[in-house]
A and B are shown apart, each in its own frame.
Chain A
Amino acid sequence: QQQVKQSPQSLIVQKGGISIINCAYENTAFDYFPWYQQFPGKGPALLIAIRPDVSEKKEGRFTISFNKSAKQFSLHIMDSQPGDSATYFCAASPHQGGSEKLVFGKGTKLTVNP
């Protein structure tokens, strides 16, 4: 049972464009929503994260938008650059019983063309 659904599977964007990746969840116990960036042969790197008490968080060119009622959140990458080409994963944590285990989406492979 996939608890976090991520779309699209792949995304091609021109340099300078906006990349948008969407995620949806069902479990209302989730209370922490991070995004990770992974380059080939590397481990996932924490990019930005949000909690459900805010609707938006921005760090540089990266913005998370969060819609608690719709149980959806998205990552926006502004002014996308070829160096942003990587696989992006959304995740959610139920934070139950003192555990912060992450449930991941299937990932989105982003290609930014020069």
Chain B
Amino acid sequence: DSGVTQTPKHLITATGQRVTLRCSPRSGDLSVYWYQQSLDQGLQFLIQYYNGEERAKGNILERFSAQQFPDLHSELNLSSLELGDSALYFCASSVGSSVVVEQYFGPGTRLTVT
């Protein structure tokens, strides 16, 4: 158990809908990362937050957005969903210092868009 929690575990929704994925980082970790895992694209970095502020953006679609709250949990919002958004979405957390960079992944949310 990495200490990172994600809810829900599974999500089935229809095209055009909007969903919210939630992540709670390990105790003490200030950085939260979101990754998407699909069969064709592999594991892709989406976005990083550090102590409530966006720090880096990757291949995140404009239909997707995220935020990190004062209690450090994070939410990833996916809107106008398409079939191709079906994937595993992982959250990872790290201390966020320049020295300690290990990232610990949560169990993921499996999103199925029908």
A complexed with B: yes
A residues with a Cβ closer than 8 A to B are 32, 34, 36, 42-46, 49, 89, 91, 93, 95, 97-107
A-B contact pairs, 14 of them (CB 8 A): A34-B103, A36-B105, A42-B107, A43-B4, A43-B90, A44-B90, A98-B98, A99-B55, A100-B31, A101-B48, A101-B56, A102-B33, A102-B45, A104-B42
Chain A residue at smallest Cβ distance from B102: A46
B residues with a Cβ closer than 8 A to A are 2, 4, 31, 33, 35, 42-45, 48, 50, 55-56, 58, 90, 92, 94, 96, 98, 101-108
How far is it, in angstroms, between the C-alpha of A104 and the C-alpha of B35 when the chains are bound? 10
The answer on a CB contact under 8 Å between A32 and B101 is yes
Binding site of B, secondary structure by majority: helix, strand, loop or mixed?
strand
The answer on a CB contact under 8 Å between B102 and A103 is no
Q: In the complex, what's the smallest C-beta–C-beta distance from A39 to chain B, in angstroms? A: 11
The answer on a CB contact under 8 Å between A89 and B43 is yes
Contact status of A93 and B101, CB under 8 A, knowing A45-B2, A103-B45 = yes
The answer on a CB contact under 8 Å between B101 and A43 is no
Contact partner, B43, options A42, A44, A46, A97, Cβ 8 Å = A44
